[in-house]
Structure 1
Amino acid sequence: MTGALPFPNISPELFSISVAGIEFALRWYALAYIAGILIGWRIAVALVRRPVLWRAETPPMSAEQVEELLTWIILGVILGGRLGFVLFYQPGYYLANPAQILAVWQGGMAFHGGLLGVIIAMALFCWRNRAPVLTTADMLAVATPPGLLLGRLANFINAELWGRPTDLPWGVVFPGEMAQACGQAIGEVCARHPSQLYEAALEGLVLGALLLWLAFRRGLLKRPGMAAGIFVAGYGLARFLVEFVRQPDAQFVSEGNPLGLAWHVGGYGLTMGQILCLPMLALGLFLILRARRP
């Protein structure tokens, strides 16, 4: 295959040290989580410290409460992301191997599960602290995209969640036996869509820049629920589109279902990622329409 781009030789580990014979490593993926949370926290604090951005100049909480909420959000992301992967993508395997559910260091997190975890954590925090749910959701919506951007870049560095085979000039030759299993002729390499970068650009960069501009320049936060609606619908739409070129999870691929569709009739259908995006699109549009009411 001509014109394919070689995968950059970047180690998944930023650095590693050995202490008393035990190896400790900082991986880019972990750093992405940490940096995304810290950046999101600073954005949220900046928002609540500007009362003029909010309806009736009333932020949903104080800067100190944002720090408390952060702990709840971290738990929601980790627990929800892991359980979402277990339930949505490999329930049979984990039902047979329940001890593996806790093995988060082996990978396996689902954004849709993480989103549900964050929603539940946010709702519990708001109930406990009597904070308004919609404006809190708006604050989190504006603060979240940088974490998505960094997370998808880390996926690329880890050479995981790559796309379907492609002949386009920006196709990337990802390493690994599975990434190179495209049915190509012996001696040829398999280039794939860098779908992680597509998602980083759409879900992180474009959606994030739009929400920041609308929040700080166009009075977005004066309409409770609007920012949350734009985020949920925007992510759902971006992910739905990228799923067309993203390689589906192996458990959905078979000889009779080479496209890995979780639901299909004949040769047409939807991947699991697309199915999970449909309620996001519906919820996002509902929040947007609700926020537009006078």
Structure 2
Amino acid sequence: MSINCVRIFPYFPLTETEEMHPELFSIGDFTIHTYGFMIMLGATLGFFYMSYTVKKDLGIDRDKIQNLAILVIFSAFIGGKLFFYLEDPGYYFSSWANMKRNFRTGFVFYGSLLFAIPIIVWYFRSEKWPLWPLMDRLAITACIIHGLGRIGCFFAGCCHGIPTDLPWGVTFTDPVSQAEPLHTPLHPTQLYSAVLIFTILIILFMFKRHKRFEGQLFFIYIILYAFGRGIIEIVRGDEERGYIIDGVLSHSQFISLGVIAVTIWMYLRFKKKASFKK
């Protein structure tokens, strides 16, 4: 079993028993990767939360949520993968071998989000379900899945930060790790993201009982994540994600600005409508 040793630098040295493992276990040629396990754990917990709440509050059967989950997984995979390839289209679309080499790793969250939302809206409309109450519940579900997924990123070394001398810098040493450079303390941007997302999750639960209009939780989730993501991007070190302005404005920061602007406009519009109804 290969080991992805992660060392907290410099005040929190890890012992042999505290090393990070990108592979949970292997049986012959069959391997369970920690990243995939965390994604599946998040998807399972998210499914149970979503199916329980919509059954309890809206009377929607679990079978319908299973169909929704399949559509979301498929659309999120396609969108996340496509946006990843578009970060360097000249390289990835030049040959099938380049696309295949990174087929199981490398996803862009905004690609997954922007592809999944239209599919979700279409499915809700086709089933004649209340759109915005479900989007509020979906925001909480997304936080569960995405937060655990970012912890999986930490084990894999992807989505890593730039080198740092801060005491909580993390050093990746295993050659199979996606972190670059190895043997150098890096900002643990994966953990920054996980903290951001789980903080948003707590905020959503706080607002859940006192929300002023349907859709409020969804808009809060999008605005807070986009704002936090834009800040974390400052210390991201995986530069293959590309820049709109080299070294100044990354693709994700550019998308974040657009997402924040549109979502704030929608939030204020919905809030105004809710005020008129009172």
TM-score (norm 1): 0.79
Q: What secondary structure does 1:172 align onto?
A: strand
Task: Identify which of 3, 6, 12 aligns with 2:10.
Answer: 3
8 Å Cα contact 1:231-1:284 kept in structure 2: no
8 Å Cα contact 1:159-1:175 kept in structure 2: no
CA distance 1:60–1:228, change in 2 (3 Å) = farther
1:212 positional shift? 2.2
Task: Identify which of 20, 25, 30 aligns with 2:36.
Answer: 30
Q: Structure 2: how far apart are the matches of 1:75 and 1:150?
A: 19
- Paired amino acid for 1:233: I
Alignment-derived partner of residue 68 in structure 1 = 67
CA distance 1:24–1:263, change in 2 (3 Å) = same
Q: Structure 1: how far apart are the matches of 2:79 and 2:156?
A: 22
Alignment-derived partner of residue 3 in structure 2 = none
Alignment-derived partner of residue 137 in structure 1 = 135
Alignment-derived partner of residue 156 in structure 2 = 158
1:102 positional shift? 5.3
1:113 positional shift? 0.6
Question: What pairs with 1:232-243 in structure 2 (closer than 5 Å)?
Answer: 232-243=222-233
Q: Structure 2: how far apart are the matches of 1:191 and 1:103?
A: 27
Alignment-derived partner of residue 5 in structure 2 = none
- Paired amino acid for 2:92: Y
1:154 positional shift? 0.8
Question: What pairs with 1:275-286 in structure 2 (closer than 5 Å)?
Answer: 275-286=254-265
Task: Identify which of 236, 239, 242 aligns with 1:249.
Answer: 239
Q: What secondary structure does 1:162 align onto?
A: coil
Alignment-derived partner of residue 226 in structure 1 = 216
Q: Structure 2: how far apart are the matches of 1:13 and 1:82?
A: 22
Which structure 1 segments of 5+ residues have no match? 52-58, 183-188, 253-260
Is 2:201 aligned against 1:211? no
8 Å Cα contact 1:126-1:132 kept in structure 2: yes
Alignment-derived partner of residue 186 in structure 1 = none
Q: Structure 1: how far apart are the matches of 2:32 and 2:103?
A: 12
Alignment-derived partner of residue 112 in structure 1 = 110
Q: What secondary structure does 1:163 align onto?
A: coil
- Paired amino acid for 1:213: M
For residues 50-87 of structure 1, what are the alpha-carbon distances to aligned partners after superposition, in whole Å with 9 as ceiling and x for unaligned?
43xxxxxxx39444422221111111221111112112
8 Å Cα contact 1:4-1:171 kept in structure 2: no
Alignment-derived partner of residue 97 in structure 1 = 95
Q: Structure 2: how far apart are the matches of 1:73 and 1:181?
A: 34
1:175 positional shift? 2.2
CA distance 1:84–1:251, change in 2 (3 Å) = closer
For residues 97-133 of structure 1, what are the alpha-carbon distances to aligned partners after superposition, in whole Å with 9 as ceiling and x for unaligned?
2464455554111101110121122023123222233
8 Å Cα contact 2:88-2:240 kept in structure 1: no
Task: Identify which of 48, 52, 60 aligns with 1:46.
Answer: 52
For residues 207-258 of structure 1, what are the alpha-carbon distances to aligned partners after superposition, in whole Å with 9 as ceiling and x for unaligned?
111112322x32x3x6122111011111101111111111142474xxxxxx
CA distance 1:214–1:91, change in 2 (3 Å) = same
Is 2:192 aligned against 1:198? yes
8 Å Cα contact 2:42-2:145 kept in structure 1: yes
Q: Structure 2: how far apart are the matches of 1:132 and 1:270?
A: 38
Q: What secondary structure does 2:248 align onto?
A: strand
- Paired amino acid for 2:228: A
8 Å Cα contact 1:44-1:143 kept in structure 2: yes
Task: Identify which of 16, 33, 51 aligns with 2:26.
Answer: 16
8 Å Cα contact 2:241-2:251 kept in structure 1: no
- Paired amino acid for 2:225: Y
Alignment-derived partner of residue 291 in structure 1 = 270
Q: How many residues align?
A: 260
Q: How many percent identity over aligned positions?
A: 27
1:143 positional shift? 1.1
CA distance 1:6–1:97, change in 2 (3 Å) = farther
Q: Structure 1: how far apart are the matches of 2:103 and 2:11?
A: 32
For residues 147-181 of structure 1, what are the alpha-carbon distances to aligned partners after superposition, in whole Å with 9 as ceiling and x for unaligned?
11111111111122211111111111122678564
Q: Structure 1: how far apart are the matches of 2:185 and 2:83?
A: 30
8 Å Cα contact 2:75-2:115 kept in structure 1: yes
CA distance 1:135–1:119, change in 2 (3 Å) = same
Query: Superposition RMSD on alpha carbons, in Å?
Result: 2.5
